[in-house]
Amino acid sequence: MAERHILSPGMRTQRPKSSLVSRVRRPLSGVVAVAVALSGLALVPLAAGAPGSTTKVRLALKRIAKGFDAPTHLAAPNGEAGRLYVVEQSGRVWLIEKGKRHSSPFLDISARVGDAPEQGLLSIAFHPRYATNRKLYVNYTDANGNTRVVEYRANARRALKRSARQILWVRQSEPNHNGGQLAFGPEGHLYVGMGDGGGPGDPEDNGQDDSSRLGNLLQLDVDRKGAKWSTAGYGLRNPWRFAFDAETGDLYVSDVGQESVEEINFTPRYSPGVENYGWAVYEGHARFNDKPLNRRGRLVMPVASYTHALGCSVTGGFVYRGKRIPAARGRYFYGDFCTGQVWSMRVRDGEATSHRRERFKVPQLVSFGEDARGELYLLSRAGSIFRMVRR
């Protein structure tokens, strides 16, 4: 994808207060150099749940594929061991099978997607019963910049374009803060993360509007005829990546910050109801503006956060549930797009514990992925796919 520049999964829209952060807001051609400059920063705990020190546990990365054009996501259906599906921003999905990429795309909708910096094909999710119903879902921004979630059916080698069925359309007022993640929850509902519509400071006040589809975490029972989208959470700025723990069903939402703070939010599977994640009244734990807080549901403060002294755009990951690295089981991994740094933690009783900085980095860390066995993958927007391994 030639000359498609992107600042990060959550492009900044307001001039930062420090010169350090202002450097990471340039187009991607300068991000790699900035990440190198930032890599020498000391990791200092800055708030409750902030990234801490390294550990003696030896983890590393193994590159398993390269040459992708601005990958944005990786996923795999249940039961398809040995298969990985890699999403490219330009509108293609590639199947890697037994370590080799197929010669033609699994899905190609490049003619339908928008090409602004934060737009394009952003994620894919497979129905929990994909093995029998062959249903999958993609989230992309169209040529007009609006969000579409579309259902497809597939055969063994490709998605069938003629089967396309749109299940969600949301008008986007700006070309950024599109969210983009799709994931199935433990109850079998499809979830989609929506950004606040863009612009500095949530100018349309979508974050605290639980009736809006912008700034919300939406859910749909795709198996129930006539089901409507509902709000599972709101108060989000740009939830570029979120994930459910494959074992417990707990939800981790990474929300890209604006001026100061990147955050990870945690919601247990058996939550009392709709959650308010605070934006734009709060950025992290700090008050962002004096607007009133919507009182519907429970206010959720971040379980972990870090300031822009350590990075610029959080990339949420997964709780590791694979078998190859027993010492990592139950740890939630996440990172930063600009520095490439990766951290991990455990959440116990709703609090971050054993928070540490990992010993590896991924340049332009745009997304994490999980295969059918629960093994963890990290994607560089520069085109490489890595698997986390035990050193």
* Pairing, β 92-97 against β 71-75: unpaired
Query: What is the pLDDT at residue 365?
Result: 98
Q: Examine the pLDDT at 36 and tell me if it is beyond 80.
A: no
Q: Examine the pLDDT at 241 and tell me if it is beyond 70.
A: yes
Phi, psi of 170 (to 5 degrees): -130, 125
pLDDT band for 47, please (50, 70, 90 cuts): very low
Alpha carbon of 215 to those of 3, 194, 209, 257: distances in Å? Answer: 29, 5, 8, 13
Average pLDDT value over all residues in the chain:
88
> Model pTM?
0.88
Note if the bond before 328 is cis, omega within 30 degrees: no
**Where would I find the H helices in the chain?**
19-23, 31-38, 130-133
Query: What share of the chain in percent tops pLDDT 90?
Result: 82
Q: What is the mean pLDDT of residues 285-295?
A: 96
pLDDT tens track for 193-226: 999 999 999 999 999 999 999 999 999 999 999 9
Phi, psi of 300 (to 5 degrees): -110, 120
19-390 placed in CATH 3.40.50.720: no
Q: Examine the pLDDT at 35 and tell me if it is beyond 50.
A: no
Query: What are the beta bridge partners of residue 267?
Result: 251
Q: Examine the pLDDT at 7 and tell me if it is beyond 50.
A: no
Q: What is the mean pLDDT of residues 38-42?
A: 30
From CA 57, how far away is CA 271, in angstroms rounded? 32
Residues near 154 by Cβ (< 8 Å), separated by ≥ 6? 106, 134, 136, 160
pLDDT band for 29, please (50, 70, 90 cuts): very low
Are 70 and 89 in contact, with CB atoms under 8 Å apart?
Answer: yes
From CA 132, how far away is CA 339, in angstroms rounded? 41
Q: What is the mean pLDDT of residues 81-109?
A: 97
Q: Which of 320, 282, 318, 324 is closest to 299 using CA atoms?
A: 282
Q: Dump the DSSP string for 50-96.
A: ------S--EEEEEEE---SSEEEEE--TT-TTEEEEEETTSEEEEE
* Pairing, β 275-276 against β 298-299: parallel
Q: Examine the pLDDT at 145 and tell me if it is beyond 80.
A: yes
pLDDT tens track for 328-385: 999 999 999 999 999 999 999 999 999 999 999 999 999 999 999 999 999 999 999 9
Query: What is the pLDDT at residue 116?
Result: 84
Query: What share of the chain in percent tops pLDDT 70?
Result: 86
Residues near 290 by Cβ (< 8 Å), separated by ≥ 6? none
Residues near 56 by Cβ (< 8 Å), separated by ≥ 6? none
C-beta atoms surrounding 183 within 10 Å = 19
Query: What is the pLDDT at residue 9?
Result: 47
Phi, psi of 381 (to 5 degrees): -65, -15
Compare 35 and 311 and report the one with higher pLDDT.
Answer: 311
Query: What is the pLDDT at residue 17?
Result: 32
pLDDT tens track for 247-281: 999 999 999 999 899 999 999 999 888 999 999 99
pLDDT tens track for 147-189: 999 999 999 899 999 999 999 999 998 999 999 999 999 999 9
Query: What is the pLDDT at residue 54?
Result: 56
Query: What is the pLDDT at residue 26?
Result: 25
Q: What is the mean pLDDT of residues 314-328?
A: 97
